[in-house]
Amino acid sequence: MSTGTLDDKDECRVVLLGKTGAGKSSLGNTLLGREAFKVGLGLSSGTEKCQFADTLIEGVNLAVVDTPGLCDTHRPEQEVLREVAKSVAVAEPGPHVILMVLRCDGRFTAEEYTAYITLKAMFGDDFCKFLFLVFVGIDQVTGNPDERQSALESMIHEKSPPTLQELIFDSSGRYFAVDNKAQPVDRRQQGKDLLSRIQKLIQRNGDRYFSNKLCEDIGRDVEPMIQRRMQQDNATRADATRAVRQDIVKEKVVLDILKYWAKEEYEAFCTLKTFFGPSVCDFSIVIFVGIDQITSKPDERQAVLKEMLKKAPETLQEILSDCSHRCFGVDNRAEYRKSQAEELRGMIKVSELLF
Ligand SMILES: Nc1nc2c(ncn2[C@@H]2O[C@H](COP(=O)(O)OP(=O)(O)OP(=O)(O)O)[C@@H](O)[C@H]2O)c(=O)[nH]1
Ligand SMILES: [Mg+2]
């Protein structure tokens, strides 16, 4: 089982995920009972980096991590996923609940579903045990506060597409409707009601929090930072943890999140070798997608990639060496995908001749 147990029983760590403009920051503010996170205006994207805020509410130390929106066409997916991974580091040793924020007054899009599948792949199936769906914007469906939950219930039963049904199934039917635009007293009560649902889920999960290999690796790097802070500032563990969280968010300490991914990829490569035998390398070409992030000039792609790989971490150097340095940089978004495919096919043919 890849889940940890709660050390500090009074802390509740929540991560907000969802598509851009869904209402994550607004929901974070509803939960915290104050305007801790900047809310987006109009079409502009509000949250660019993951944010952290906490408060003592109903005897619970509630720590909320806000993230930039998924499916943001103005931002590369890798960058957003990196921020999502960072949010897990901020919620170290792991979030108790992952709140997936959805809109009542909008369609559940194919992009949103794909983003959800990517998250599931990134975090692993255990992720679902900690998943809670929050549908914001219920004010667009009903103006009657007493009917919020029943209105959502009918909406879900009458017109949710199969993709959304999958999320509902994955979260074992845990969902809640919120109006972030409600009057302060009403909004406060909604925050408390949601917190009580969150606490029920934590109880059901036996006080465990979400963790996976990525969380454990990050935890190993973060723990000494907390210890150092405790000694240097003569701080309590809670204060030192809070300070380290802010350091991570403000990037005062650099956690090389991609380093952890590279490690996972390396392990996957080792598994492949064990499974098929070392000769699998003789038939392998290492493909690097997203080369457009490194150079915009198509003619320079392969040369720039080769140059960049000279500084690659040891694990990646090993993979490249095993594959006799056969590698290729691809821009999957380029309009000349066809010529890239031809170039790659040429490389495959050469490999066939060689082996
Ligand atoms: N009517 C209504 N509007 C809402 C609700 N929640 C959020 N909004 C509005 O939706 C817009 C986006 O809200 P944010 O909280 O910034 O959304 P976000 O998911 O944090 O956005 P990004 O950080 O850009 O990904 C803002 O104009 C909010 O006022 C709600 O419950 N009802
Ligand atoms: Mg936001």
Give the homologous superfamily in CATH for domain 11-250: P-loop containing nucleotide triphosphate hydrolases (3.40.50.300)
Q: Which of 56, 57, 87, 53 is nearest to 69 (CA)?
A: 87
| Closest ligand (CA of 101) | 1
Of 24, 25, 26, 64, the one to substitute when testing ligand 1's pocket (max ligand atoms within 8 A of C-beta) is 26
pTM score > 0.85 for this model?
A: no
- Cα–Cα distance between 288 and 271 in angstroms, integer? 20
Q: What is the pLDDT of residue 4?
A: 46
List of the chain residues with pLDDT < 50: 1-7, 352-355
Tokens 């934590």 belong to residue: 202
Helix and strand numbers (H, E) in the chain are 12, 10
Query: How far, in Å, from the CA of 160 to the mean position of ligand 1?
Result: 21
pLDDT at 327: 87
pLDDT at 5: 42
Residues lining ligand 1, judged by CB closer than 6 Å?
18, 20-26, 39-40, 45-47, 68-69, 136-137, 139-140, 178-181
Taking CA atoms only, the protein residue closest to ligand 1 atom 26 is: 40
pLDDT of residue 255: 61
pLDDT, position 271:
78
pLDDT at residue 349, as a whole number: 64
Q: Where are the domains of the chain?
A: 11-250, 256-347
Ligand 1 mutation pick, 112, 180, 194, max ligand atoms within 8 A of CB: 180
- Given the CA of residue 28, which atom of ligand 1 is nearest to it? 15
Place of tokens 């994550």: 24
- How remote is the CA of residue 180 from the centroid of ligand 1, in Å? 8
The per-residue DSSP string of 75-92 comes to S-HHHHHHHHHHHHHHTT
Confidence (pLDDT) at 43: 59
pLDDT at residue 265, rounded to an integer: 74
Q: Which residue has the tokens 């006080």?
A: 207
